Structure 1
Amino acid sequence: MPRHLTPSRRSILAGTLAGIGAASYARAARKAPNAARFSLKFAPHEGSFASRGSRIEQIAYAADQGFTAWEDNEAAARPVAEQEAMGKALRQRGMTMGVLVASMPKWDKYRPLLGSGDRAEQDAMLADIRRSVDVAKRLDAKWMTVVTGFMDPKVPVDIQTARIIEVMRRAGDIAAQNGLILVMEPLNTITNHPNIFMRTIPQGYAIATAVANPAVKVLADLYHAQIQAGNLIPTLETCWSEIAYIQFGDNPGRLEPSTGEINHHNIVRWLKGRRYDGVIGMEHGNSLAGRAGEDRLIAAYREIDAA
């Protein structure tokens, strides 16, 4: 699950960050970046630079530090005026919009069970995707995240897999008609999400391959992948044809690179060798509070970007 959708993450990101007044927008649009651009499209999110003010001011600050992308899992839940303001700020700064969440499970209810055969649950997920299309257009977004629900203990895994392939084919048709790509996110069951259905990148690869629609791909969140199975670079290599989006987050702690066990230097080298030009979501928190943490975040990404 994207970390900044949890209640604890919401509490960190809440408060004064929602303002999108004219003054905030003017500051966001006033100038070009004043730092060298990163060579890869690392994408901060609201809260990465919380001390800098509103969401629009954070986008401006990120651009001034050389970031060329932005990510907002919760974009679909924001008022239309906020979506439009954010899209305008990103366009003004020449920044690429990363993922927004199109369909997310109800974590407190352990639903949906998309493989159960319950058509109503499948239809509800498809309705979420349809509602998110207009949000993506306001933000010039290309990718939308889908989490494929929970395991049904009453149904054999192979049957659940077949049913999820079928519903993702329907979802892929919606995305394709609107020029979008749905990225299915595998999540770990060991630390964060017990009983989630899709739990490894190879499992996502198998479903995306079976769906056989370029509008249905896999989101490789390396924090989840490291916990669940490790073996990151060989897994990326094997499944690369079905991976359309990357997210970073070190383990343990889900913080910036160099705080845990993942060798982000080698992963960045591998991605550059692959000529990856997509977005890399900075799907993690900061290891230090306040501006010291924000400075540390930038330094960590400068270090791995030089790999």
Structure 2
Amino acid sequence: MRVGRRTILAAGVGAIAGMAISESAAASPADGFALDFAPHQGSFASRGTVLEQIAYAAEQGFRAWEDNEAARRSVAEQEAMARALSQHGMTMGVFVASMPRWKEFQPVLGGDDDSARDAFLTDIRAAVDVAKRLNARWTTVVPGFLDPRLPVDIQQARIIDVLRRAADIMAPHGIVMVMEPLNTRTNHPRVFLQTIAQGYALAVAVNDPSVKILADLYHEQIQSGNLIPTLDQCWDEIAYLQFGDNPGRKEPGTGEINYAIICKWLKEKGFAGVIGMEHGNSAGGRAGEDRLIAAYRAINPI
């Protein structure tokens, strides 16, 4: 049965004025963060295994973790991650439920081939078990690529239909698929879903609490900009955020996005969800990891 549209997460995060980032700030004892910023494997690569990186992130005050590749890990690895996160009182963020084949421009979920949609739904069914093992509430979906031969309206209708079918799989388990709009100007040409506003249209049409938007602000800045007004207008359908500065897709403070102001706005909205640190480090080794921590302390709302 289709359920009425509702907001999965409350909104909000806060920010700080200024982005003065020093390695010494990262080295000081962690007082924690007001927002649930989520590092990922590689954020603290010098600290060792993924479990050791989780432990180090917790020591620094991070309260969440995300892992795009979690579905590809062994069951034993997934269960070990879940235990580590529970031990440290951390929330599991997103993992990818269905990954496009980037070089092949596949799948085309709005195309004429039903097999692409069937394969997508197979991925969604498998993601349920992964989410349960990880105690994850959110999983990322990318609605494939455009078919330049077909009207966009036909493709959109087909994607809405397959997302509704996917929601019927996820909803009984309380799992939310977050659709990620991706930029076509720098990273992902020909993707179907390109903006948060377009994701809003899809989420409203699907009309199910298991289908929401992942607002990756790196992608949105490249594709559309106007970040805070866009977030505000689409807020009811946004369940998850990701940060990354532009250009370069590194930590806040390395590019043009004023994440301090965005975090301040998010805090005022009352956002209680996870913000994925979906970017690399601007410097290597432990010095780069210190800069990463300092960058997030600089935008952490007080």
Question: TM-score of the superposition, structure 1-length normalised?
Answer: 0.88
Question: 1:44 & 1:226 partners in 2: Cα distance?
Answer: 21
8 Å contact 2:250–2:281 — kept in the other structure? yes
Q: Kindly report the root-mean-square deviation, in angstroms, between the aligned alpha carbons of the 2 structures.
A: 0.8
Alpha-carbon distance, 1:118 to partner: 1.6
Aligned-pair CA distance for 1:125:
0.3
Query: Alignment identity in percent?
Result: 68
**Does the Cα contact within 8 Å between 1:117 and 1:163 map onto a contact in 2?**
no
Distance 1:166 1:306 in 2: 40
Q: Equivalent residue of 1:183, what SS?
A: strand
SS in 2 for 1:182: strand
> Does residue 49 in structure 1 map to residue 64 in structure 2?
no
Aligned twin of 1:278 = 273
1:156 pairs with 2:156? no
- Note the C-alpha offset of 1:51: 0.2
Question: What's the secondary structure of 2:170's corresponding residue?
Answer: helix
Match of 1:305?
A: 300
The corresponding residue for 2:183 is 188
SS of aligned partner of 1:45: coil
Report what 1:142 is aligned to. Answer: 137
2:206 counterpart of 1:216: no
Rounded to whole Å, the distance in 2 between the matches of 1:169 and 1:286 is 37
Moved over 4 A (4+): none
2:67 matches 1:72: yes
Partner of 1:28: none
Deviations 1:261-297 (A, max 9, x none): 0000110011001000000000000001000000000
Aligned positions of 1:84-163 closer than 5 A: 84-163=79-158
2: distance between equivalents of 1:178 and 1:45? Answer: 25
**Cα deviation, residue 35, structure 1:** 2.2
* Partners of 1:145 and 1:183 within 8 A in 2: yes
Counterparts of 1:191 and 1:127, CA distance in 2: 30
Q: Structure 2 residue aligned with 1:40, among 35, 39, 56?
A: 35
C-alpha separation in 2, matches of 1:183 and 1:155: 25
Whether the 8 Å contact between 2:71 and 2:95 is mirrored in structure 1 is yes
The corresponding residue for 2:22 is none
2: CA distance, partners of 1:286 / 1:162: 39
Partner of residue 14, structure 2: none
Deviations 1:36-93 (A, max 9, x none): 1211000000000000000000000000000000000000000110000000000000
8 Å CA contact retained: 2:146, 2:191 = yes
State the distance in 2 between where 1:36 and 1:69 align.
15
Give the AA of the match of 2:212: K
What CA distance in whole angstroms lies between the structure 2 residues aligned with 1:306 and 1:272? Answer: 7
Name the SS of the counterpart of 2:103 in structure 1: coil
Q: Give, as a single letter, the amino acid of the residue that structure 1 aligns with 2:64.
A: A
Contact persistence 1:72–1:98 (CA under 8 A): yes
Q: Does 1:250 find its partner at 2:270?
A: no
Partner of 1:62: 57
Give distance in 1, aligned partners of 2:161 and 2:141.
Answer: 15
Counterpart residue identity of residue 196, structure 2 = I
In the alignment, the residues of structure 1 paired with residue 295 and residue 224 of structure 2 have an alpha-carbon distance, to the nearest angstrom, of: 25
* Distance in 2 of aligned mates of 1:306 and 1:141: 25
Q: Distance in 2 between matches of 1:43 and 1:264?
A: 15
Paired residues in the alignment total 274
Q: Could you tell me how far apart the structure 2 residues matched to 1:306 and 1:170 are?
A: 39
2:174 pairs with 1:176:
no
Residue by residue over 1:223-256, the C-alpha shift from the partner in whole angstroms, topping out at 9 and shown as x without a partner, is 0000000000000000000000000000000000
1:202 aligns with 2:194: no
Which position in structure 2 is the counterpart of 1:225?
Answer: 220
Name the CA distance, whole Å, in 1 between partners of 2:100 and 2:135. 25
Q: Choose between structure 1 and 2 for higher RCO, CA contacts under 8 A separated by at least 6 residues.
A: 2
Contact 2:267 2:301 in 1 (8 A): no
Query: Contact 1:249/1:256 (CA < 8 Å) preserved in 2?
Result: yes
In structure 1, list runs of 5 or more residues that go unmatched.
1-33
Question: Normalization by structure 2: what TM-score?
Answer: 0.90
